[in-house]
Amino acid sequence: MLSEGRGVARHCAVWGSPIGHSLSPVLHRAAYAALALHHWSYERREVDEASFADAFAGLDETWVGLSLTMPLKEVALRAATTVTRVAAVTGAANTLVRDADDSSGWTAHNTDVHGLTTALRLAGCTDPTSLLVIGSGATARSAIATLAPGGRVVLMVRHRVRPETLAQAEAAGLTVETVGLGEWAAGAEVDAVVSTVPPASVPDLDGFPVATHRDHRPVVLDAVYGSGETRLQRTARERGWSVAEGTDMLLHQATEQVRLMTGHDAPLGAMSDALRVALRDRRDEP
């Protein structure tokens, strides 16, 4: 993070494709207002893998932070000069921050793990030892990183697990199982189900298991947010599971981004209020 430089313009943004749905600007702008960072700005920009290199090379030194969403979490990692341990383990970066002591350098972070861990905890799933993860991309690897060594992960995929995701799980000492989409029996005893795929891609919910844990309720987290309750969330509630909101993951990964980019503790209350208003307005749109 560069010196705050009161009165000096500082620019941040979220990049990805598609990007129009992103609520990151709502969260970061609310933080800047609450922190009185009046010369900071936060925008969204449509950037895909093919255009990333030119867009990144075009940033001048007033740019101090980028949030990255799909499909840029892996290409951003390769663009960094320094990679944090969590970003390296997951092979994915959702945050790039300009280095304070070398303005030409950028550090890659993965704050999705923090967001996932916090969202699961708020729903009652603390220190999970077993997960069923739908999908095997960058967000799936962040979910896997919430498990301690010796845990169990079930990867539900359409075809095959991405090799880098399987390698991460095995390197972490996890027991790994692979099942096809809709094969829910393997999820009957997990602490949480984390879906990282579009809601319409989650099939055969008739077979979703009833919660049978005696000491705690298992949790479902659908990482896709903004379109109201998903079929997975609705089915989970009906069958006795707790539901962790994808917007909680979004909020808490963003608070960590604000801290990394600005050097200030994030104003959680202001960011949460802004997110709630934005979601309400989105639901009210015709």
pLDDT tens-digit map of 180-227: 999 999 888 899 999 999 888 888 899 999 998 767 789 999 998 766
- CA 34 to chain CA mean position, Å: 23
**pLDDT tens-digit readout, 12-46:** 999 999 999 899 999 999 999 999 999 999 999 99
The whole-number pLDDT of residue 79 equals 96
The whole-number pLDDT of residue 187 equals 83
Alpha-carbon distance 106 to 65, whole Å?
A: 9
| DSSP letter string, 191-214 | SEEEE-S-GGG---GGGPPPP--S
The whole-number pLDDT of residue 3 equals 44
The whole-number pLDDT of residue 214 equals 65
| Contact status, residue 115 vs residue 90, Cβ threshold 8 Å | no
Q: Which residues are catalytic?
A: 73
Tokens of 109: 């972070």
Mean pLDDT of the chain: 93
Largest CA distance in the chain: 58
The whole-number pLDDT of residue 6 equals 55
**pLDDT tens-digit readout, 62-114:** 999 999 999 999 999 999 999 999 999 999 999 999 998 878 899 999 999 99
**CA proximity to 92, closest of 102, 105, 104, 83:** 83
| Contact status, residue 17 vs residue 42, Cβ threshold 8 Å | no
Name the 3-class secondary structure at 166: helix
Kindly state the helix (H) or strand (E) to which residue 98 belongs, with its residue range.
strand 95-98
Alpha-carbon distance 63 to 65, whole Å?
A: 6
Q: Given strand 95-98, what is the order of strands in its sheet?
A: 40-46, 10-16, 63-68, 95-98, 106-109, 82-83
| Preceding omega of 218 cis (within 30 degrees of 0) | no
| Contact status, residue 221 vs residue 120, Cβ threshold 8 Å | yes
Give the domains, in start order, of the chain with CATH numbers. 10-110+248-284 (3.40.50.10860), 124-244 (3.40.50.720)
Tokens of 286: 């015709």
